[in-house]
Amino acid sequence: MLDLTGKVILVTGGSRGIGAATVRILAAAGAQVVVHYGQSGTEAQMIAQDLGPDRAVALGADLSQPGAAAQLFREAAAWRGRIDVLVNNAGIAPLVTVDEPAQAWADTWSRTLQVNLMAVADLCREAILHFRERGGGTIVNVASRAAFRGDNPEAMHYAASKGGVIALTRSIARGYARENILAYAVAPGWVRTDMASGYLREHAADIARDIPLGDVAPPEEVANTVAFLASGLARHMTGATLDLNGASYVR
């Protein structure tokens, strides 16, 4: 079992799916966790209540709104006076095609990039400034297999946003390692979450054929990977992206 005792960790999108699994695994390893939520406040509060007030707190923020991410980080840091690890997990994946009206196309791209990239960048900026004052810290960004192999035509904006997350992560690692600020990315393929459940049921056979391992990843595998990166046991891996896709895309 990894020992994260003494670490205060902010997990965005921590109320469901990968985020909820990550919160629970980090807390089980001894961390104190800020559980961010967008719309799933009830779920986030239930997780925080289950873990206990000494182990977790729930904070809401609408990351589609400019400025909300920076405010979230400051509120999270105020809980215990610091943040040691930032986990950028929150993301959206609305669909839009080139055949839809231009305004729908533009709105979907804008909102996706705001939540999946701009909010991530704002949180990373706040983290870097905060970590400088504390002698270092760790950022773990949840990207996607789509950042490398692309996505379906109706999800090009999602792939583009995750490609930006990879470039951002690598740039932070290269730029701030000397200040003991570490940055990693994890790039899952399909993960068995509530958000993906409908698509997974509808396309189960095709997805299984596409994955040599034969099944999609459980969220706990992504969470375990995040916990390992948060532990500080692989400092020289900073800048790396860890893939979790059952060998459906091998770089």
Catalytic residue among 158, 184, 199, 249: 158
CB count in 10 Å sphere of residue 55:
16
Question: For residues 179 and 129, is the Cβ–Cβ distance under 8 A?
Answer: no
Is 199 known to be catalytic? no
Q: Measuring CA to CA, which residue among 4, 116, 15, 20 is closest to residue 59? A: 15
Query: For the CA atoms of the chain, what is the radius of gyration?
Result: 17
**Following DSSP, what letter does each residue of 33-55 receive, concatenated?**
EEEEESS-HHHHHHHHHHH-TTT
Rounded distance, CA 34 to CA 205, Å?
38
Rounded distance, CA 5 to CA 136, Å?
17
Burial class for 192, CB neighbours closer than 10 Å (0-12, 13-18, 19+): middle
Residue 41 tokens, joined? 């406040």
Rounded distance, CA 19 to CA 59, Å?
14
Residues marked as catalytic: 158
